[in-house]
Structure 1
Amino acid sequence: MADISYFDAWGMWLAGKSTLGHDLLGLPMIWWGRFGKILSFVAGAAVVVDLVGPERLTRYGERMTRFMARRPTGGPFIAGLVTGIAVLFVAEPIGVPWPLELLLGGMLGGAAGLLAVRVGRTLQDPELPMTLKWVSLGLFFVGFHFDLLAS
């Protein structure tokens, strides 16, 4: 597969030629398109925020924070355990050595536990809905851009 520059990719697209079969920054264009689709889907978070409403997000964040405070080791431990097991299920079939599996599972599991605590606090921020809307708009534009470029 030929490696093309960003501007070459746009030149090909504008000329009506498919960019599929080429690499951009070492990654096949089909993957750039897939990442674009994923980002566009994630951008739908703004719709979720509008449907759920900021008051419900704040209440959920308060409940999550209280749960983590009541069980300082239980909540993060469960989030970490689930993440660690998911890493093992993904890493095992692709042949990752078991010490690296344990290291990845532990690190990502610990990060998931800390993230659960942080998400609870973040959901209580009154500026969160507006911030999510702007981030979603940016993700939508970037995602649509790469999806279009890979078409």
Structure 2
Amino acid sequence: MADLGLFEAWGIWFEGRSLTGHCVLGLPILWWSRIGKVLAFTGGLTAILDLLGPDVLRRFSERLRTTRRAQQFVATSTWALVGVFMGLVSTVIATWTFWGPFFLEAGVIVIVCAAALVLSGVSDKIFARVASIIEDPKTERWWRVGSFVLLLVGFHFDLLAS
């Protein structure tokens, strides 16, 4: 695997050749594609939260705080999201270390359980905080610029890997 700089990688891409099997800035191109997808998803998610607006997020936060059923939904969703995230992390760890799959799975299960318990108790506060960030004129601009940058950078790396 050849380790390429960013401009060299784009040169190969513009020639119509695949970057499969190459490393860019020390990481395999497959990982840059995955990182790009996560960044683009995060940028798109922030745009969706911005479109929903602070009022909707505050109402949802209040409903989470007062409804037991909603708290169970959030706990289940948290398990799922954290599980997906930790699956990606465990893949990275498995790629770069000598630890066996058993230790990775055990560690992932412990981390997922702990994170789900913590996040299920504070999820209403997270939505309320996001609502206040979107509503504040000082942070609104940074929120929008940040989501655009995440979307752009994510798309860039995903496109480079295509």
Task: Report the TM range for the smaller structure's normalisation.
Answer: 0.5 to 0.7
Residues 1:132 and 1:141: Cα distance change in structure 2 (over 3 Å): same
AA in 2 matched with 1:40: A
Distance across 1 between alignment mates of 2:154 and 2:62:
32
- The answer as to whether partners of 1:80 and 1:110 remain within 8 angstroms in 2 is no
Taking the aligned partners of 2:27 and 2:79, their CA distance within structure 1 comes to 30
Q: 1:132 and 1:81, CA in 2 relative to 1: closer, same or farther beyond 3 A? A: closer
TM-score, normalising length from structure 2? 0.62
Compute the displacement of 1:55 (Å): 0.9
Distance 1:149 1:138, change over 3 A: same
Residues 20-57 of structure 1 show CA distances to partners (whole Å, capped at 9, x for unaligned) of 13112443324323432342233222442244332111
Aligned partner of 1:71 in structure 2 is none
Does structure 1 conserve the Cα–Cα contact (< 8 Å) formed by 2:47 and 2:147? no
Q: Which moved more, 1:121-130 or 1:55-64?
A: 121-130
Residue 21 of structure 2 is aligned to residue 10 of structure 1:
no
* Whole-angstrom CA distance in 1 between matches of 2:121 and 2:147: 23
Residue in structure 1 matched with residue 127 of structure 2 by the alignment: 123
TM-score (norm 1): 0.65
Query: What is the percent sequence identity of the aligned residues?
Result: 36
Q: Partners of 2:42 and 2:60 in 1: how far apart? A: 20
Which residue number in structure 2 is paired with residue 20 of structure 1? 19
User: Following TM superposition, by how much is the alpha carbon of 1:143 offset from its aligned partner in structure 2, in angstroms?
Assistant: 0.6
Which structure would you say has the larger Rg?
A: 1
- How far apart are residue 113 of structure 1 and its match? 2.1
What RMSD over aligned residues (CA atoms) do the two structures have, in Å? 3.6
Q: Distance in 2 between matches of 1:64 and 1:81?
A: 13
SS of residue matched to 1:20: coil
Stretches of 4+ aligned residues off by more than 6 angstroms: none
2:61 maps to what in 1? 61
Task: Give 1 or 2: higher helix fraction.
Answer: 2
2: CA distance, partners of 1:51 / 1:112: 27
Provide the secondary structure at the position in 1 that maps to 2:57. helix
Question: Where in structure 1 are there 5+ consecutive unaligned residues?
Answer: 69-73
